[in-house]
Amino acid sequence: MPAAPPPVPAVDRLPAGLATLADHEAHARTRLDDNAWAYFSGGAGDEITLRANRAAWDALQLHPRVLRPLQGGNTRVELLGRQLAHPILVAPVAFQRMAHADGELATAHAASALGAGLVLSTQASTPLEAIAAAIAHEPGRGPLWFQLYLQHDRGFTRALVQRAEQAGYEALVLTVDAPTSGARDRERRAGFQVPPHAAAVHLAALSPPPPVMLAPGQSALFDALLQHAPTWDDVHWLQSISRLPVLLKGVTHAQDARQAAALQVAGLIVSNHGGRTLDTVPPTAVLLPPIVDAVGSTLPVLVDGGIRRGTDILKAMALGARAVLVGRPVVWGLANAGAVGVAHVLRLLRDELEIAMALCGCANLADCSPQMLWRAAP
């Protein structure tokens, strides 16, 4: 008996009046309950990094050139051996069925239709196989990557990686900046809990680590939970068990970038976890140039955190990024209109990027350089 075709998400109607990603965010607040809103919108601590991510892109100023040839311009970029229609990828976001019943399936269909790359979270509410089956053979789709949190059980992690390989994922994105969760005050005030329908399906079969008997004065965090925190040796191990290229997400220090390059990882994602882990980390727009300088042309550098406009994407490319990842705005679109809402968010970014390129006299993203950004005379 032939296998049933993968499900197709419902077609929602886009609410009127949504012209920007900020509009999507404001409307999503009316669609999400306090529990989901605290999780998706909040950051760590006083949310200084969360706000700084956005402010740093705003602070950069574009310095356009005029009367330059623009005919035949395009947003294409090359990444890990593939040519992409544009440099926008959907960042890994957990528990997407808290935002919409179709969850990651709606996001995947929208990303595929818009040619955007998709990075599926380990903590997804939808099995990785279902996502791959739904879009893997779609013409024009972007790359399909799987984000990974290393688990205390290496056998479990190996099996999860093998599932991703067999399903057709093209790369692994190892998150390295969250050995523990940040102190997220909004979630604590809301009494955040993951509802059963949105639980992390990939981790359902993971057994908890054996209990650790702590001696007086020992820390439940450092002497118990962090016994299994990943190290550089784990990166090497992951590379050894998979044929997939491995990118590291959460690199913010130049010394770490150089160490990653020495391990011959496939790429780096400059990220402060959207301000959700360690508060007061600098914004990614500030962190990006030193990481690019540290690795040079040896491997691609991507960036996330606070991207809300096509001008932000152009600024990131001018600073040396190969592509950008967008997380929260995708959730806002998902909450507002499922796959249609996510597609609208991605379309807005793509259109705004083209407009910004044209008005800056930039026909191709390969021509981006720091000279596109205003530098006041010393």
Q: Residue 276: phi, psi to the nearest 5?
A: -100, -5
46, 349 Cβ separation under 8 angstroms: no
How far is residue 341's CA from residue 36's CA, in Å, rounded to a whole number? 17
List, as one string, the DSSP characters of 193-211: ---GGG--GGGTTPPPPPP
Say if CB 270 and CB 287 are below 8 A apart.
yes
The catalytic position among 86, 109, 202, 273 is 273
The answer to whether 273 is a known catalytic residue is: yes
* DSSP state, residue 371: G
Which of the 8 DSSP states describes residue 74?
B
Give CA–CA dist 372/378, Å, rounded. 18
Q: Report CA-CA distances (Å) from 149 to 17, 68, 176, 258, 317.
A: 38, 46, 8, 22, 27
Nearest to 86 by CA among 365, 369, 377, 374: 365
> Rounded to the nearest 5°, which phi and psi values hold at 119?
-115, 110
Q: Which residues of 304-336 are buried (b: 16+ CB within 10 A; e: fewer)?
A: bbbbbbbbbbbbbbbbbbbbbbbbbbbbbbbbb
Helix axes 232-241, 154-167, angle to 10 degrees: 50
Sign for the CA dihedral angle at 301, 331, 114, 54 comes to negative
Active site positions, annotated: 273
